[in-house]
Amino acid sequence: MAIEVISENASHGGVQGVYKHASAATGTDMTFSVFVPSHEPGAKLPVVWYLSGLTCTSANVTEKGEFRAACAELGLIFVAPDTSPRGDGVSDDADGGYDFGLGAGFYVDATQEPFAKNYRMWSYITDELPAFVAQHFPADRTRQSIMGHSMGGHGALTIALRNADVYRAVSAFSPIVAPSQVPWGEKALSGYLGGDRATWRLHDAVALIYDGARFPDILVDQGEADQFLAVQLKPSLLAEACNEAGIALTLRLQPGYDHSYYFISTFMADHLRWHAERLY
């Protein structure tokens, strides 16, 4: 399992790297970024996984997320995968939409053609990439947590809810909490998984909670000036589900903040401290 170094830069006493490898899950080369803080030789560090949103790559949070100072202080490895497979021959949205196809993998394993061949982001994120990262970096797979933004918030919530024994913490910025009930999710889940809505429930955080999935506590930050809040995000649906299930949800509505990385970077350190408290 060879790793290709695209770049490595010293930052906050550690190393910010961007890497590429050949993925068996997606059948493509995949690029991801990793920040490793300064640490004692031989030490294993907890890992925070960050899942990005629609149209993004690993570069968005790496360049705009402002996470390295907090990760250096807290002793956290920060891993940012891509949002979909890419490359020649990888199917895209035939209509050219930004919310499906390239950059919009929705963290599912597609079952519908022509996407089933490459769009296996669930397997890539939950299985292949963690094993690969542990092989090449000082990552402690017994101490992992997950977070994400928008589509990536959807991915983080569903992955944590279905793997509560693997991840010690989960948080999200502006997550798509109920993709079965909003246009972004309906387009993606029908395109990747087909028309049977029963199969969508495994990739819908609100549905998972009503179906019995549990996680001890969840942190969500949502900008009140987010242009997607009312139609695509609907955090109140998550609040209702968590309340009924007895899940401790910290939902913070942030006045004046939108959907951008100006918002994410403002509260990134808060989220990383939340994760560190549960990883150490």
Rg (CA), the chain: 17
Q: Which of 221, 211, 210, 219 is nearest to 252 (CA)?
A: 221
Question: What H or E segment, with its residue span, contains residue 8?
Answer: strand 4-11
Which of these is catalytic: 149, 203, 259, 271?
Answer: 259
Is 259 annotated in the active site? yes
Which of these is catalytic: 203, 221, 226, 275?
Answer: 226
Which of these is catalytic: 23, 84, 145, 150?
Answer: 150
Q: Which residues contact 177 (CB under 8 A, 6 or more apart)?
A: 153, 154, 157, 205, 206, 233, 234, 235, 237, 238
Query: Which residue's structure tokens are 């101490």?
Result: 143
Query: Which residue's structure tokens are 């949070």?
Result: 61
Domains and CATH numbers, the chain: 4-279 (3.40.50.1820)
Q: Which of 214, 232, 209 is nearest to 222 (CA)?
A: 232
Is 52 annotated in the active site? no
Is 226 annotated in the active site? yes
Q: What is the pLDDT along the chain (280 residues), one digit of tens a residue?
A: 799 999 999 999 999 999 999 999 999 999 999 999 999 999 999 999 999 999 999 999 999 999 999 999 999 999 999 999 999 999 999 889 999 999 999 999 999 999 999 999 999 999 999 999 999 999 999 999 999 999 999 999 999 999 999 999 999 999 999 999 999 999 999 999 999 999 999 999 999 999 999 999 999 999 999 999 999 999 999 999 999 999 999 999 999 999 999 999 999 999 999 999 999 9
User: Quick check: 146 and 160 in contact, CB under 8 A?
Assistant: yes
User: Residue 72 and residue 62: Cα distance in Å, rounded?
Assistant: 14
